[in-house]
Structure formats: C-alpha cells, structure tokens
Structure 1
Amino acid sequence: MHVVKTPIEVRYQETDQMGVVYHANYLVWFEIARTKFIESLGFSYADMEKEGIVSPVTDIQVSYLKPVKYGDIATVETWLASYDGIRSVYAYNVKVNDEKFVTGSSEHVIVKKDGFRPVSLRKKFPDWHEAYQANVME
C-alpha cells in the first residue's frame, strides 16, 4: 500500500480558545495531504486544471478521536482507499507521535470545469489511471 506522510505544524490560527484545532481545519489538512499523495505518484492538480478538468469533493467523512492542539506536530497519512475509474476515495489518518487522533476519507470525481460533466480518468489521463490502479488499497 502506497501511503504518503505529510507533516503539519499546528499553527495558532488553526485553533480555538481551548488551543484545540478547529474541526474544519482537518479538511484543509486532508487537501494538503491528498495533493502530496498525488504528487508522490508524479501527477498534479495544476496539470489537470490546465486541461479544463477539476476534481470536486462528492463526500467527506471525519471522525475526531482526540483533539490535536496548538504546538503539536501532526502527520497526515494518506492513501487511495478505492478507485473505480470515475471515483477516487482517499483515506486519512491524522497522527501525533504515531497515535491516531483523527480519521477520515474524501470521495472525488473529475469533471469538466465548465459544466461539471463527469470525465473518465482512464480516458482523459491514462497514466494517472494506471498509477491509481496499481496503488489502490481495496
């Protein structure tokens, strides 16, 4: 299984008055980590967007097990949990000192930027499709 680990230094502005990371910031961390995962396979969202294609979120799940706090160094582990040629599901673990604090997943499709019509990754980006098939956890 291809897992990418992305370090995140918790910044003060990401926390609430209790010094706990505000819940929505994990979604930003997921995006940072997902981008690093894609880059680790040799691809980029920027190249996709140059082709008039975007990858919106169609579903997101987050489970908060423990609070990550200001001053912590978190690591977001990311992998491809499932892929069917149209939909990609990325999974995430947010860890502090190798202990799991948050888990989650996000589902994405690729669509034409103008009109949001779904596009097959296999047809539009065959190299990307092959890399996903080779690295999906299923």
Structure 2
Amino acid sequence: MKIATTHVQVRYAETDQMGVVHHSQYLIWCEIGRSDLIELLGFSYAKLEESGVLAPVIDVSLSYKRSVRYGETVRIDTWIDDYNGLRAVYGYEIYNEDNRLCVSGTTTHVIVDSQSFRPRSMKKQLPEWHEVYEREKKQNEERG
C-alpha cells in the first residue's frame, strides 16, 4: 500500500487569533495530500479534469485530537482507505513535529462528467485508475 507523505509549514494566515490552526485548514491540507498521493500512483488531477472528469467530495470525516500552531511543520500521510469502483475513500493522518497524531479522517469522492455533473463509474471511465485503486484497496485490507 502506497502512502503519500507531505510536509506543510503552518502559515500565519491558517491560524486564529490564538495562533492555533483553524479547523477548516485541515481540509486544504487533505487536498494537498490527496493530490500528492494521486501523483505517487502515477496520475494527475489536472489531466483528469482536462479529460472532462471531476472528482467532487461527497463526504468528509475529520477527528481533531490536538492543536497545531503557527510555525510548526506538519506531516500529512494519505492513502486509499477504500474503493468500490464508484467511490474512492482517502484516509489521512496529520502529525505534528513531535510525531503526535493531531488529526485523522477520510474524504469520499465520486467522479462526475464535468459538463452534466452526472456520476460515472471509475471502472468504466478510468480503467487505469480503477486497476491501481483496486490494488491499493487490496493492499490496505491485507495491512489490516
């Protein structure tokens, strides 16, 4: 199972008045990690969109365990958590500089036609992606 590891330095604009990262920023960091994972798997979000396909988020679940503050650098680990041919679930863990888990969660995505926004089967529309996502799902299940 491939895990993309991404490092992000916390910027002042991402924090509240107390210097703590605002909860909304973690979704942006998940997007960064997801894009890095897709590239690690050999694909590109930009090329996906150029082909007339979008991958909107249909569900988000994040669990906040400890605060991250301005000036820290976080590590975002991202992987394929689940996949069924229609929906892809990405898993995330965000760690602080002390390697302590700060946020964990998932986002669920479907692919849609960029003009009609009608859902499409990844298996049929993107067979190369489907093959890789199936492999990653299987490896994740074996991991445990």
TM-score bracket for this pair, using the shorter chain length: over 0.9
After superposition, the C-alpha distances for 1:90-136 in whole angstroms (9 at most, x for unaligned) are: 01000013210011110000000112111111111111111111112
Q: Which residue of structure 2 aligns with residue 126 of structure 1? A: 127
1:34-49 equivalences under 5 Å are 34-49=34-49
Q: Which residue of structure 2 aligns with residue 111 of structure 1? A: 112
After superposition, the C-alpha distances for 1:34-70 in whole angstroms (9 at most, x for unaligned) are: 0000000110111111111100000001111000100
TM-score by length of 2: 0.93
Q: Which residue of structure 1 aligns with residue 99 of structure 2? A: 98
Per mean C-alpha deviation after superposition, the further-off stretch among 117-126 and 51-60 is 117-126
Distance 2:47 2:41 in 1: 13
Q: Which residue of structure 2 aligns with residue 71 of structure 1? A: 71
Identity %: 46
Number of residue equivalences: 138
Any gaps of 5 or more consecutive residues in structure 1?
A: none
The structure 1 segments of at least 4 consecutive aligned residues displaced by more than 3 Å after TM superposition are: none
Correspondence 1:8 to 2:8: yes
Aligned-residue CA RMSD in angstroms? 0.8
1:20-59 equivalences under 5 Å are 20-59=20-59
Distance 2:51 2:4 in 1: 26
SS in 1 for 2:26: helix
Any gaps of 5 or more consecutive residues in structure 2?
A: none
